[in-house]
Amino acid sequence: MRIALIANYPNRAEYIENLINLSTKKHNTQISDIRTFDIYKNPVFPKTDEFDKFIFSGGALGVYEKRKYPYIVPTIDFAKKLIDKDTDVLGICYGHQLIAEALGGKVYKADHVEIGYKEINVHKEDPLFKDIPCQFNSFEFHKDAILSPPEDISVLASSSGCQIEALRYNNIVSVQFHPEIPFDIAIKVYRNQEKNLKINKLNIDELIKDSIEKYNEDISTKLMYNFLTGGF
């Protein structure tokens, strides 16, 4: 199995690769090649038939910031090529929003930042969530959300702060939450965002305690395993 990680922002692909390695070790899955394409540095994309799976990372940018980040447009175009070929694709956070944009949906800047471990509610059966509880917690950190879903897609999950936490279009799946972020990395995020947390009247100690209690490695590794082997 050959996997291409499309890194939309610095330091994002490494967490996904860590989850892939953890998941494949836990579930005895063989990976022949994982390659990262830092398209935020150089928007050169792999050939669509060069890999079996493509994963679009998150990032601290919005799909509407096309002037500020010129590589957004070619990334959307590349996503459209994968969609046309019905390739196996997973988008995470910004990658989720980018896929929605490529499918014709609309993304907007929300009136609040969602951060911390949130309850995800799965309300449609799907191979991505096979053997995963219909309610589970996962890390969230985003200021944007999908305003209107693309036509002909299935909304798989939601949360109290986001109506479209997961979607599917044929072999294309994406999630707003971050299965690749373990609690220790989440704590680093809180530390880095301490000033913004105070502005938004969020207690960092409570967030840390909540993260330690709610992080579930088995959920994250199982979700990644399902994407890699789920028979999409």
What are the residue numbers of the active site?
Answer: 93, 178, 180
> What are the φ/ψ torsions at residue 54 (nearest 5 degrees)?
-125, 135
| Angle of CA points 27, 32, 38, to nearest 5° | 105
Q: How far is CA 107 from CA 6, 8, 92, 94, 139, in A?
A: 20, 17, 14, 10, 20
**Which neighbouring-strand residues pair with 137?**
119
Q: Which residues of 45-66 are buried (b: 16+ CB within 10 A; e: fewer)?
A: beeeeebebbbbbbbebbbeee
Distance (Å, whole) CA 178 – CA 139: 5
Tokens 């109506």 sit on residue: 163
What the block records as the tokens of 83 is: 């969609």
DSSP string, 11-77: T-HHHHHHHHHHHHHHHT---SEEEEEETTT------TTS-SEEEE---SS-TT-TTT-TTHHHHHH
Q: Where are the alpha helices (DSSP H) in the chain?
A: 13-27, 72-85, 94-102, 183-192, 194-199, 204-214, 217-229
